[in-house]
Amino acid sequence: MSAPLVGVLALQGDTREHLAALREAGAEAITVRRRAELDAVDGLVIPGGESTAMSHLLRDFDLLEPLRGRLADGLPAYGACAGMILLAGEILDAGAEGRQALPLGGIDMTVRRNAFGRQVDSFEGDIPFEGLDGTVRAVFIRAPWVERVGPGVRVLARAAGHVVAVRQGAVLATAFHPEVTGDRRVHKMFVNIVTGS
């Protein structure tokens, strides 16, 4: 079977690291900035970055509703940090009026932005992750956490008592940044979701 084509949303945030991680995990990886690119991919990674800026760039590039539509139609997606925020059905502390993060509704969950604190409160640690052997090195940078999960959502990892990784169907999300560690198991898990293996 040929490698799946996985896009990385490249409007704002750390796209290069995800492209490299996806290629090492066995996918063909491209950047997504246009509707035709979104329409072509078998799966999509929404990287870390600034969730309100990414929301408004999605709207400016006419990708917000097409992406919501593809997610509703079952597009596999993986969101890291800001990507987790955007994949939520509900966002707490979504930002100032008029500059709010806009939920894509890919996972039935409520996420709190910047829940672990500001940039200076960033941290990393080893956490158990359901479906992966051993622990995962989790790098949290102005990270969110999940406050509520719906009945169809599987909790995959917790840190400091909070939910930090979830999966619902073909949609995966982490509050941390596995792309910066060199450990490709989370990306490999996502590639396997895309290929249905």
> Which fold is adopted by the domain 5-195?
Rossmann fold (3.40.50)
Residue 176 and residue 58: Cα distance in Å, rounded?
22
Query: Which residues sit opposite 162 in a β-bridge?
Result: 159
Higher pLDDT, 8 or 93: 8
> Residue 25's pLDDT is what?
97
41-82 pLDDT per residue, tens: 999 999 999 999 999 999 999 999 999 999 999 999 999 999
Residue 85 and residue 88: Cα distance in Å, rounded?
6
> Residue 142's pLDDT is what?
86
Q: 74: annotated binding-site residue?
A: no
Residue 2 burial (10 A CB sphere; 0-12, 13-18, 19+): exposed
Residue 163 and residue 167: Cα distance in Å, rounded?
11
> Strand 107-112 relative to strand 88-92: parallel, antiparallel, unpaired?
parallel
Task: Give the pLDDT band (50/70/90) at residue 114.
Answer: confident
> Strand 135-140 relative to strand 162-168: parallel, antiparallel, unpaired?
unpaired
20-36 pLDDT per residue, tens: 999 999 999 999 999 99
Q: 49: annotated binding-site residue?
A: yes
Give percent above pLDDT 70 in the chain: 94
Tell me how far CA of residue 2 lies from CA of 32, 42, 173, 195, in angstroms: 20, 12, 25, 10
Residue 61 and residue 56: Cα distance in Å, rounded?
9
Q: 113: annotated binding-site residue?
A: yes
Q: Report CA 178 to chain centroid distance, whole Å.
A: 11
Active site residues: 81, 177, 179
162-193 pLDDT per residue, tens: 999 999 999 999 999 999 999 999 999 999 99
CB 109 within 8 A of CB 153: yes
Domain boundaries, the chain: 5-195
Q: Is 85 helix (H, G, I), strand (E, B) or coil?
A: helix
Task: Give the pLDDT band (50/70/90) at residue 13.
Answer: confident
Phi and psi of 190, rounded to 5°?
-65, -45
Q: 141: annotated binding-site residue?
A: yes
Mean pLDDT over the full length of the chain: 93
